Structures are given as structure tokens and as C-alpha cells.
Structure 1
Amino acid sequence: MKRCHIAYLACTAALVGTGLGMAPAAAAHKTLLVHPGESIQKAVDAAQAGDTVLVLGGTYHESVKISTPRVTLRGVGEQTVIKPVGKKAAAKTANSCTDGGNGICVVGTKTKNVEGVTVEDLTVTGFTRAGVFGMATDGMTVRRVYAVKNAVWGIAQERSVQARLLQNYARDNGDAGIFLANTITEEAGAADAGRTLVERNRVEGNRIGVTVRRLRNLAVASNYVTGNCAGVFVVGDENKPKAGDLTVAYNRITQNNKSCPKTDRLPALQGSGIVLTGTENTRVTGNKVTGNSGKSPLSGGIVLFKSFVGVTSDKNTIEANALQSNSPADLVNTDTGKDNSFQRNSCRASQPAGLC
């Protein structure tokens, strides 16, 4: 096995003078450099809070688990590629991230979230679950990550708060390009996402572009969502508190007309722009929604749909959106919920009539 060499590049700490004398130096943070053929995981394991693991261009066959707070895992762009390890090597290097079929895992514990981890400027592709997966995180940033052709999700998180998912490219993943949930494996009331922000991502060719499931207090803003079976799904159910108190704003959502077969949870999908189902107090505003066309029960530009477990959407505001060439209509409301408001939207057709 090739010996792993990790270069330590110490950052110089600046000393600040005051009238009372010189302040003590701040603790130096290190940059741990990983070359092709070396182990990213070994560098991550050696990193301490505040350190950066810098992965040079090349292809790395492994899964990487990060549990140390305030560690940054950074590539040099799209050319830093993380792919699954082979079966023989997996038996020797297995961790919970490998076993779960994920590429990069940022994982806290049941009692404590891991804080301030950043993953940026790299590609994760070919994993049987998620490219990047966060669980029990606080303030996780995923930025400029190419999450391509993973079997379930491109970038996903659960039980997490204050995340920043920014400027990523999630393409051709089996389920959602970006997936956020309270919990994945059990039913529970909607959780407070702590002002999580999903912003300026490009999401295309997935089953669903962005899925928000059983969450509150977050924003999906200024994303470009195209070529999926459905653009943005905000999903609630019969649990309490109800999903909602969030914003979907200033996104460009166009031609999400890929056709996907039905699953245990959803009917066949095609031509859905933004779908709200089982939510409350959600504000959908300033979005440009065009050319989403299909014959699914969920097809249309912006759709309010009674959840499949019978929960209505209530007190949602759909305002100041620009909609065009969506079918069966730009605005579709098949929900029986109360106090949903449609205001100042630019559109031509709605079901029922009169919403434009």
C-alpha cells in the first residue's frame, strides 16, 4: 500500500497590539494536503477543530466520515472526484459512511450535533445512497459540490439545523437532488431547521429537484431547477407540528418534464413545478415557473395538493410569482384546506378558474 503523506501547512497567527501590551497569539490551524493515491479519511481523522483537509485533483475511491467540529473538507473543484471504493477494499476500510452507501458523511451523535463542518469544491458520484449526507449537524455548509449520479440523493440531511447548501450542482440522482428532512427512518412532527438556507444551486435531471419533508423555518431561494420529474416538493403529513413556516422564493423552475414511475409514496411524476402538500404558513413568492407540463395528479406550475394521508394545506400564501406555459394550469389547487391565498401572480390559466 502506498504510504500516505499528509503535508501540514501551518497558518500564521497574527498578533494584535493594544495599549496594554501584545495579545496572545490565536491557535494556529493546519491545512492537511492529500495527493492522489492517499487517504482522505486518514487526513480527516488527523484534523482538529479549525483545520482544513485540502484534496488535490484526482479520483479517490473511498467514503469519508467527518465527526470533528469546524473541519473543512475542500477539493480544488470538479476535478477532485470521490467515488465508491471497490468491494475488496471496502472490507478493509469500512466505516458507517461506507456501509450506508454514502460518499461524504457529516455526523453528530444522538445527544450532540457536530458544529461548523464545511464540504466544498469537489465531486461525489456513483454512491448507492447519497453523495453528501449530514445527520445531527449544526451550521454545516455544503458549497460548490458536484453531486452527480448517486442512486438516491445528491445532497441530503436530517436532524440538522442552520445548514447552508449553496451553489451546488446536483444532477441525475435517483431521488432528490437536494433532500432535507426531520428524520428519514421514522414518522415524527416537523422539526425546526434553524433557518437552514438552500440557495443558488443548480438542480437538474433528478426525480425531484429539491424535497423538503416535515420541516419548518428554512428557505429555498434563488435556485435553478430544470429537467427533473418535479421541481420543488414541500411535504407534510398527519404528524404535529405540521410542516411549514418556510419560504420558497425567487427560484427559476422550468421544464421539469422528465417522466418518473410511481413509488410507494407518490404517483407517477411529470411536469410539476412547485408542490405543497400537507403544509401550513408557507410563502411561495417571486418564483419564475415556466413550461412544466404533465398528466400526473401533481402536474402544474404551482400546485396545492391534499396529502396522501388526508392532511390539508392551510394558510399558505402564493404571491407575486410569474408563471407561463404550465399544464394542466399555471396554478392548481386541488386541496380542500382553509385560508390559502393567491395574490398578484402573473399567469394565464388556473384550476379552479379565478386564481390568476
Structure 2
Amino acid sequence: MRTDRSPDQLPDAPVTHSPVQREQRAGGWRHVILALRLLSLWLVSPPTFAHAATLLYVHPTDPTCQGQSPCYQTIQAAVDAAQSGDTIRIQAGTYQEQVNISGKNNVAGASEADRILLEADPAAPVGSVILQGAVSQCTNGYAIRLQQSKFITIRGLTITGAGGQAISLMGGNNQNAAIHIERNRIFGNGSPECSGGITIARGNPDTLIVNNLIYANGRNGITFIDADGGPHYLVSNTIHGNAWSGVNVARSHEVHLVNNLITGNGTASGSTGGRFGVKREGSTSPQPAGITLLNNLLCGNRLGEIDGPALDATDGNNLTPTGTEGPGVSASPGCEVPANLFANLNGPDTQPNTADDDFTLATTSPAIDRGMDPRTLGLNPSFNPLFEADFSGEGRRPRDGNGSGTAEFDLGALEAGVTARPTVTNLNPTTGVHGQTITLFTVTGERLGGATALTFLKDGTPDAAITATNLSVNPEGTQLTASVTLAATATLGSRIVTVTTPEGTSDATATSGNTFTVLGQITLVPDFVSLVEGQSGGLTVQLSAPAPTGGSTVTLESANTGIATVPASVTVGAGATSAPTSVTAVFEGTTNLTASATGFASGQTVVTVRAPIPSIGSFNPSSGKVGTSVVIFGTGFRPTPSANTVRFTGPNSTWVAATVSAASSTSLTVSVPTGAITDPLQVITSGGTAISPGHFIVLPTEDFQLSVAPATIV
């Protein structure tokens, strides 16, 4: 009988299936090596596609993704655009949509090098990326569905409210391969009619489900349907309080359960479909060797902990309340009581089955230090960081949780005795110029208290050319300040900033919140002090570091082109550190010139343009009475009448000002002022003073009136 077949699965198709070679580890069943699996788990083959891996960003409301590009506003749009090796980074927010991952990496020879990562932004708080179900009914009510795809990872999401499965792996002709489901919170999905956790149909070899919280879903937490499939690996998950069974396995799927906490399942009334921790479908030819249970705790599941042909001599170190289920099971009395396992199961809101349910282990939990080392399972060594992570972050396992002096793995998705590592969410400033010191560098994040190091990583290695001193953290542990010195030898480019505390080091995955860029400096060097209107001067663009391959295009801009102009750009050749250009003076005044280029801090200089020194060539007429209009010809005059002062010679070596009624750069029109006498004229502008080479002759003005009397003559 097929169990819990999902309404959205297509018919079965044959699938090739390999046996598992197992070995017992010395000293008992605790360490069993599941070795020599499919080559896809062992080997990392060359990339299948000629594609440079791209980081794609998603934000539900910000079309710029907080200044990142390329930016998408739905997860599905980013998935559609993703290619081999890409990472889809989902920024904090709620996304109400269905995500269909179809036909990705579906070619012969696809490998780990082609893996597409769909992840919550590492800089966002855990749980802040929420995929809300968009379809309320069971049929086709999935939140995420995968079909005909290989080497896909789904990491760090909260998935809730889907009418059907949170994650569905289709089978048969639509089956997938090497799907990883990591560090997700999956709750409140499905219904009494269909499972709401994770459903895996026929085939789907090399599925890895690790460090997930799977709780309060309709029917089963994890369901394997159709006749056969796998191998599948369930490692370090907490599977709690689902309506039917925690894990339901069809008769011929090959499933390996390691270090899981499977508790309190079977919350729905009745018994149809099972209400167990692990349920294995029976058949006329049972194959208990097809399901391996190593170091799991199964407690408090309503109708029993293990049902069906599941246990044999290959299983070991599992815990149940009584230990009577069969081979490889020991008793852990009281483990069926949630308070004995978890410190605060209902979380801050004190309500069960909500987004803040807290599966942190109680200090005396029987799950502490009871796991095997999953790095010894014989899987691809590149998976070890996945096993060393827990639900909250990377690098958290193993720890010494019971004071034995030996670091060991806990059971479930959360490692005990670990304060969450620090996180870095923002830097200020985000850029700096080599050769300079940033006296106040601010890091914003969480759990920064006790910081011992602020490190700038270049290509994954600490950059010795950047040093941080005078570290100080506020009492809340949310802000760190330091003085950061960028040596002149610091190469240009981005760095990942990490903070180290006694609890660990923040994530070294590049995000918009932890990336710092070292810039070069542009310097503008003019070969003049000032320019006269109409004159050109030389300008050298200098870079503090050689231009990269292809050269650097430096954009030039004048703040006021009415004063001085520059070319739109100049190119500094590859490997060079300077290039010449020019400045053309237009009109007197000062203006800022700015030069900018990718990878360099902008440079500025101030250009001063002087008015030319005026000169007087002639005037017309050369003589006249007071009030006569005179046109003065010359050069360097100002085009605005009021910007020119014209003076005639006055008595006793004085000057008498004349009113300028019209002006151009070569002529001025004035009237002879009262008091003027014969002598040179003078023109004064901001550029200087000019005196005419000849004298203007002031003619006398009649100062009497002739009258005749009598008025008439006879």
C-alpha cells in the first residue's frame, strides 16, 4: 500500500538504486560508516556550465535590494534567472508566493560545483526571511516544489501557512538529485488531508535534510512516498508535534536517520496513517536494512516511537522512554516529558506551535552529547561544515555540553551550551582609502559583547595590511567601534569584516552588511596657479594605485562650466598611475573640479580664473564737452557696465568717474562727466587698471546767455 501519496505528485518511474556498505565502528554501534555511496557524494567534478557564479538578491518591497544588484522582488523571479553555481540571497521580509524550482542543473555531469544556493540573507536575523503559503488548499498547495533539478540547497527560511507541503520533491520522471534542505523552520503547513512538512517522492537520490526545525504540520513531519528512492540522509533535525508521525517512510526508500530529535508527534486524534516517531511501511518482503537509525532520540510520540520493519543489527545508540522497541535502542526514562528535553519549548510568547517556539535543549537534556560524529558517515567531506552548523548558524558543533572535557554532537537541530555567534549587519563607513586611518569605524550587529578581534578578510584570509585597534562595545552588544588603519600597501577591492568573541566569529559570507571596500585615491594636480579667461592650463590625474587591466576611465566634472571646463573623461592606461588632461578658463571666478573612477575615492581641486588686464587702444570722439557720449575701445573690458569703472582726469591730479552706459569686452560707452579736464582716461576692472595713451580733450562749455533788447527792430 502506498502511504500518504501527495496529490501533486506525478506517476512513478523506475529509478536506479545502489546498496549501502556499512561498517561498525570499534567500540559498538555508535559510529557506523555509511561509506562508498554514490559517486555524486564523493566526487566533485569540474563545472558543467561556462557561467560565472552570480549573487542574486531578493527583497519584497525595495526594488534596489538595499543597493544590491541584480535585484528581484520575488523569490520565483530570482529562481527563474538563476544558473549553475549561483546564489540567491533573500533579504529579510515576508514573501507570500509559491516557488517552483524546475529543470535547474538537469544535465548529465552536473556536480557540486554547479550547486545553486537559495538562502536567507546571512546578515538578516535568524527567522526574518519568511515564505508564507500562497495557496490554502492541499492540492498543489506547496510552498516550494522541486522537479527535475539537481544540486539545489534551500537554507535558512521560515516556511509556514502553506496548504500543502512546505517543501515537495517530485518523483519518478520528475525526480531530483542531491537536494539539500538546511537550517529551515518549517511549521504550520498542510492540513488533515495532506502532509505539510517535507515530502519526498520516488527516486531523489542523495537528499540531505540537516539542522531543520519541523513542527506542528499537518500529517507527517517528513514523508517518503511511492515505492522506493534514496539514499536520503536526515541528520540533526528536531521533528516535533506534527499531527501524524514524525517520519513516515514508504517500504523501499533507503533512509538514514542520524542524531535526530523526534518527539511529541501524533497530535491529531485517531490512528489512521500512524502516530509514531518513525513509521516504516510494511510489505511482504520487509527490508529493515533499508532504514538506518543511529543516535536518535524518539520520545513522547503518541502511539509509539518506532513502527514497522525498521530496526536490525545495523542500528545503534537510539533512545526511547523504555528501550524495548528492538535492536539498537536503549531506555531514557522521562524523555517523553518536553520539559526534560527543552528549556522553554513554547518560547517568549508562551504559546505552542508559533514562530518563536524554542527548541534549545534543557541543561540536563538526555540529548546533550549523545550524537555520533556525522562527519564519519563517509559523505563528501565538503559537507562537513553543514554538520558542524546547527539551526542558528555555522561553526557551532561539536561542543562539550556535559562537562566531560570532550566536544561531542548533541541530538536535534540546536547544539546546547552555545551562545549564538556574533552577527554583523552594518558598517560605517563602508569604504576607506589605503594609506589612511579611520578613527571611528562602527560595526552594528548582535552579540558583539566581549569582542576580541575585528578582522578584514581578503579572499578568505585576514588582510595584514588592515589593522583594527581600540575596540569598544556598547553594553547591549549591538555596536562596536574601533580605529582602523589601512596601510598604503593595502590592495584595492572588497573585504569581509568579521567580529570574533569568546562564542565564535561572525559569518564570513559576503553580505551587504559586512562588506568593506578599500579604495585608491585620485589626486588632481594643475600646472598653474590661476588662469586668465580664454586660457588653457595643464591638469594631471594621478592614481594612488596602478590602473587595472583595461585601464581606468576617470570622469571629470566642473562644478561651474561658466567659469572653467574640462573634458568629460580621461583614461589612465593599464598599469599606469597618471594621465594628462587640460582645463579651459571661461570667466572669472572659482570652481571645483572633481575626478571620479571605479575603485577610487574622488579627487578635487579648485581652479581660479582671473579677468584679463584691460587696455585702452583709442576713444571716439577724441574731444567733447561735458555730457558728450564717448566710446572707448580696447581689450579686457567686462561685459557688465557696472563691472567697469571709467574715470576722466580732474583738477589737481584727481579723477572724475563717468557713468558707463554700455559695455562689451572691447568697448565701453560713457558720457564726459562734469569736472573733467583734458588728460588721459582710466579704465578699472577686476583684472587691473588701464590708462589711455592719448589725452581726451574736454572742450569748454558756454557759461553765459546772449539776449537782444529791444526784442524787435523797426
- For Structure 1 versus Structure 2, the TM-score category normalised by the shorter chain is 0.5 to 0.7
How far the C-alpha of 1:85 sits from its partner, in A, is 2.5
Q: Is the 8 A contact 1:245 1:280 kept in 2?
A: no
1:161 maps to 2:205: yes
User: How many Å separate the matches in 2 of 1:322 and 1:150?
Assistant: 32
Quote the residue 1:75 is aligned against: 120
Quote the residue 1:53 is aligned against: 88
SS in 2 for 1:324: coil
Match of 2:151 among 116, 139, 155: 116
Match of 1:200 among 236, 239, 244: 236
Quote the residue 1:137 is aligned against: 176
Quote the residue 1:220 is aligned against: 257
How far the C-alpha of 1:39 sits from its partner, in A, is 1.2
User: How many Å separate the matches in 1 of 2:178 and 2:152?
Assistant: 7
User: How many Å separate the matches in 2 of 1:127 and 1:201?
Assistant: 20
Quote the residue 2:146 is aligned against: 106
Gaps of 5+ in 1: 1-25, 88-96, 109-113, 257-269, 291-299, 304-316, 328-356
TM-score by length of 1: 0.62
User: How many Å separate the matches in 1 of 2:291 and 2:216?
Assistant: 26
Q: Is the 8 A contact 2:212 2:238 kept in 1?
A: yes
User: How many Å separate the matches in 2 of 1:84 and 1:192?
Assistant: 27
Moved over 4 A (4+): 239-244, 278-282, 300-303
Match of 1:274 among 291, 306, 309: 306
How far the C-alpha of 1:241 sits from its partner, in A, is 7.6
RMSD of aligned alpha carbons: 2.8
Amino acid across the alignment from 1:142: I
Match of 2:215 among 168, 171, 179: 171
User: How many Å separate the matches in 2 of 1:244 and 1:234?
Assistant: 14
Same amino acid, percent of matched pairs: 26
Amino acid across the alignment from 2:263: T
SS in 2 for 1:116: strand
SS in 1 for 2:60: coil
How far the C-alpha of 1:86 sits from its partner, in A, is 6.7
User: How many Å separate the matches in 1 of 2:313 and 2:117?
Assistant: 33
Quote the residue 2:133 is aligned against: 84
User: How many Å separate the matches in 2 of 1:121 and 1:180?
Assistant: 22
Q: What CA deviation, in whole Å up to 9, does each residue of 1:41-75 have, x standing for no partner?
A: 01100111111111111100100011212322111
1:33 maps to 2:57: yes
How far the C-alpha of 1:244 sits from its partner, in A, is 4.2
User: How many Å separate the matches in 2 of 1:210 and 1:204?
Assistant: 10
Judge which range, 164-173 or 150-159, deviates more.
150-159
Quote the residue 1:336 is aligned against: none
How far the C-alpha of 1:180 sits from its partner, in A, is 2.1
User: How many Å separate the matches in 2 of 1:161 and 1:124?
Assistant: 23
Quote the residue 1:332 is aligned against: none
Greater C-alpha Rg: 2
Match of 2:327 among 315, 318, 330: 318
Gaps of 5+ in 2: 1-49, 62-72, 106-114, 267-274, 337-714
How far the C-alpha of 1:228 sits from its partner, in A, is 1.4
User: How many Å separate the matches in 1 of 2:294 and 2:264?
Assistant: 19
How far the C-alpha of 1:98 sits from its partner, in A, is 9.9
How far the C-alpha of 1:221 sits from its partner, in A, is 1.0
Q: Is the 8 A contact 1:246 1:282 kept in 2?
A: no
1:233 maps to 2:278: yes
Amino acid across the alignment from 1:287: N
Quote the residue 2:319 is aligned against: 288
Amino acid across the alignment from 1:284: D
User: How many Å separate the matches in 2 of 1:65 and 1:98?
Assistant: 16
SS in 2 for 1:288: strand
Q: Which has the higher contact order (CA 8 A, sep 6+)?
A: 1
Change (3 A) 1:192 1:133: closer
User: How many Å separate the matches in 2 of 1:255 and 1:228?
Assistant: 7
Q: What CA deviation, in whole Å up to 9, does each residue of 1:296-317 have, x standing for no partner?
A: xxxx7654xxxxxxxxxxxxx6
SS in 2 for 1:43: helix
Q: Is the 8 A contact 1:210 1:232 kept in 2?
A: yes
How far the C-alpha of 1:251 sits from its partner, in A, is 0.8
Greater share of strand = 1
How far the C-alpha of 1:325 sits from its partner, in A, is 5.7
Correspondence list, 1:13-24, <5 A: none
Amino acid across the alignment from 1:272: G
User: How many Å separate the matches in 1 of 2:139 and 2:335?
Assistant: 42
Change (3 A) 1:66 1:86: closer
Q: Is the 8 A contact 2:184 2:213 kept in 1?
A: yes
Change (3 A) 1:161 1:86: closer
How far the C-alpha of 1:35 sits from its partner, in A, is 0.6
How far the C-alpha of 1:236 sits from its partner, in A, is 2.6
User: How many Å separate the matches in 2 of 1:147 and 1:52?
Assistant: 21
User: How many Å separate the matches in 1 of 2:168 and 2:294?
Assistant: 25
How far the C-alpha of 1:215 sits from its partner, in A, is 3.0
Amino acid across the alignment from 1:78: G
How far the C-alpha of 1:249 sits from its partner, in A, is 1.4
How far the C-alpha of 1:216 sits from its partner, in A, is 3.9
1:209 maps to 2:246: yes
Amino acid across the alignment from 2:297: R
How far the C-alpha of 1:289 sits from its partner, in A, is 1.1
Aligned length: 245
Amino acid across the alignment from 1:219: H
How far the C-alpha of 1:323 sits from its partner, in A, is 4.2
Change (3 A) 1:65 1:192: closer
Quote the residue 1:64 is aligned against: 99
Q: Is the 8 A contact 2:311 2:327 kept in 1?
A: no
Change (3 A) 1:320 1:252: closer
Q: What CA deviation, in whole Å up to 9, does each residue of 1:262-316 have, x standing for no partner?
A: xxxxxxxx241122x14585743201112xxxxxxxxx7654xxxxxxxxxxxxx
Amino acid across the alignment from 1:73: L
SS in 1 for 2:283: coil
User: How many Å separate the matches in 2 of 1:156 and 1:283?
Assistant: 25
Q: What CA deviation, in whole Å up to 9, does each residue of 1:313-343 have, x standing for no partner?
A: xxxx61352343699xxxxxxxxxxxxxxxx
TM-score by length of 2: 0.32
Change (3 A) 1:99 1:31: farther
